[in-house]
A and B are shown apart, each in its own frame.
Chain A
Amino acid sequence: MLKVENLHASVGDKEILKGINLEVKAGEVHAIMGPNGSGKSTLASVLAGNEKFTVTEGKVEFEGENLLDLAIEERSRKGIFLGFQYPVEIPGVTMANFMKLAVNEHRKARGEEPLSAAEYLKMMREKSAIVELDPKLTSRSVNEGFSGGEKKKNEIFQMAMLNPKLAILDETDSGLDIDALRIVATGVTRLHTPENATVVITHYQRLLDYIVPDYVHILYKGRIIYTGDKTLALKLEKEGYDWLINDYKEE
C-alpha cells in the first residue's frame, strides 16, 4: 500500500528525515517509536503532505502512485488520514458542517453523489458512537473548548467518518487519561480491517496494549535504525532507548 524509499526531508535548511525506508501493506499495523526530536512527527507530516517540509530526495508510493506529486487534500481523498498530535481549533465552524464538506469531497473524488441530510446524520450518529463521542459535540465549533480527551476522540471520529485506507496517528495517546486512552485505542482497533493499514506514532508502550502492532520501528536522528515485532516495544519500556542508540553509534 505504502512504499517509502530513502526519504529525505527538510524544514528550511535543516534536514530532519535522512533516508527513511518503510513498507506498509494492507491489514498491517506499524508502530513508530523513538526519542523526542527523532523525526516521528515530521515523517507523519511529510506523508500527509504538509508543505512546510521539503522533500529533497527519495520516493513515496501509495497504491502504486507517486504520493509526492499530490497536494495534501488530494492525498486525503486518496485515503490518507493524519490524526493530529495537536488538533486545531476552528472557531465558528461546526464539526457537523466541516465533516459534511469533508465526507462529500471524498465521495466526489470517488465519483459518488453527496449524502442526503438524513444519511449524513445517521452516519454521524453511528461513527460518534465508535469513540463514545458525545453527539452534541458535533454541533460545536471544531475542537473549540474540547477537553484533551475529546479532541483525540474527535480525531478518531473523523477517521471513522472518512474511512481511510492508511491512517497515520501522531501521538494520539498523548495527554490522555487511562479511560480516554482505552476508548480511543479501542476505536482505532474497531476501525482496523484487512483492507486498511494503521501507522501509530507513540512514545509509550501502553497504547500498543490495545493496538497490537505487527512491526515496531525505532526512528532516531531521521532514520529507522531498528525494526522488530511487538516485543520490541515492551523491551523499550523496560530498558529505554540507550541500548539501541549505543549500538547505532558504534556502527
Chain B
Amino acid sequence: MQNMVAVSSSGKVGSGRWSLVADHDAQIVVEGGCRAEIIIADSDAVVKLNITVEPNALLSVVHAVTAGGTTTIDYTLLEGASCRVTEVVLTSSELNISARLDAPMASFELDGAFILTGDERGSVKVDVAHNVADCTSRTSFKGVASGRATGRFSGLVYVAPDAQRTNSEQSSRNVVIGDAHIDTLPQLEIYADDVKCSHGATVGQMDSEAVLYMRQRGLSLVDAKRLQIEGFVADVAMHSSISDTAERLTELISAKLETL
C-alpha cells in the first residue's frame, strides 16, 4: 500500500495507486496508456463517481462496501481501455455500477460478492452497455444471505445495433441460508446479430453433501457450513483486481462470515 496518493477531488490520475474516499461526488479521468489502481474507501453517503478510462489505459479498482449508503459508479471506457473491478458488499447498501464501452477493443471485468446477514438489505445493479463493436465484458457476482436478510442482483447487458463481435458474459450465483431471500434478475438486450453473449443465474441452498463430507472428517456443522460459504465467496477476494488487497478482503469476508 506504499506510495498511495489520495484523490480528494475530481481530476486526472496517472500510473500508480490512488485512494478515493467515497464521501463526495467525483469525476476522475484515468490518463491514456497508464496503469492505475484505485482503492475506494466506503462511506455511508449517497455518492456518484464518474470514472473515464482513456485509450489503452488499464485501471484496477477495489471497493469494499462496509459503511453502507448508496454508491453509484459509472465507468466510461475509451478505445483499448481495460477496467477490472472487485466489489465486496458486506452491509446494507445500494450499489449501482454502469460501464459504457464507447470505443472498440475496450474490456470491462467485474467480480463481486455480497454477504448479508441479520436484517440487512442490499441491492447491486450492474449495467454494461456495449455501444460499439469489438468490446468484451464479464460480470460475475456471488450472493450469500442468511437470517432474514434480503439481497438483490440485477444485471443488464445492452448490445447496440452496431456493436458486432461483442463478447459478453454475466453470471449471478447465490446461496440462501435459513429464511433469507435473494432475487436475481439477469437481463440481455441485444440488437446486434454477430455477438457472443451468455448469462446465467442460480439461487440455491447449501450443498448438503459437502457439509456431510466435512462433518465426516470431524468438522462441526457450523464450521462445515462456514467453510463452504467461505470457499464460495473467497475466490472473489483471492482473485482481487489488485492482488495485494486479497488478504485484507479475505479478512473482511471471514469476519463477516462469523456473523452468518
Report the stretch among B26-34, B57-65, B194-202, B230-238 that lies at the interface: B230-238
Q: Closest B residue to A90 by CB, please name it.
A: B210
A159 to chain B, nearest CB (A): 10
Is there an interface contact between B230 and A93, defined as CB atoms closer than 8 Å?
yes
Is there an interface contact between A73 and B230, defined as CB atoms closer than 8 Å?
no
Q: Closest B residue to A77 by CB, please name it.
A: B218
Is there an interface contact between B213 and A90, defined as CB atoms closer than 8 Å?
yes
CA distance A99 to B213 in the complex (A): 12
Is there an interface contact between A141 and B220, defined as CB atoms closer than 8 Å?
no
CA distance A176 to B227 in the complex (A): 29
Taken residue by residue from 209 to 242, chain B's Cβ proximity to chain A (1 for < 8 Å, 0 otherwise) reads as 1101111111111010001101111110000000
Interface of B is mostly: helix
- Contact residues on B (Cβ < 8 Å of other chain), bracket: 20 to 34
Is there an interface contact between B227 and A101, defined as CB atoms closer than 8 Å?
yes
> Which of B209, B220, B221 is close to A88, meaning CB atoms less than 8 Å apart?
B209
CA distance A105 to B219 in the complex (A): 7
A194 touches B (CB below 8 Å)? no
Is there an interface contact between A76 and B231, defined as CB atoms closer than 8 Å?
no
Is there an interface contact between A93 and B231, defined as CB atoms closer than 8 Å?
yes
> Which of B209, B219, B232, B233 is close to A102, meaning CB atoms less than 8 Å apart?
B219
A residues whose Cβ falls under 8 Å from a Cβ of B: 48-50, 71-73, 76-77, 81-82, 84, 87-93, 97-99, 101-102, 105-106, 109, 141, 158, 162
Selected A-B contacts with CB under 8 Å, 19 pairs: A50-B212, A72-B215, A82-B216, A88-B209, A88-B210, A91-B235, A92-B232, A92-B233, A92-B235, A98-B214, A98-B227, A99-B217, A101-B223, A102-B219, A105-B219, A105-B223, A106-B218, A109-B218, A162-B217
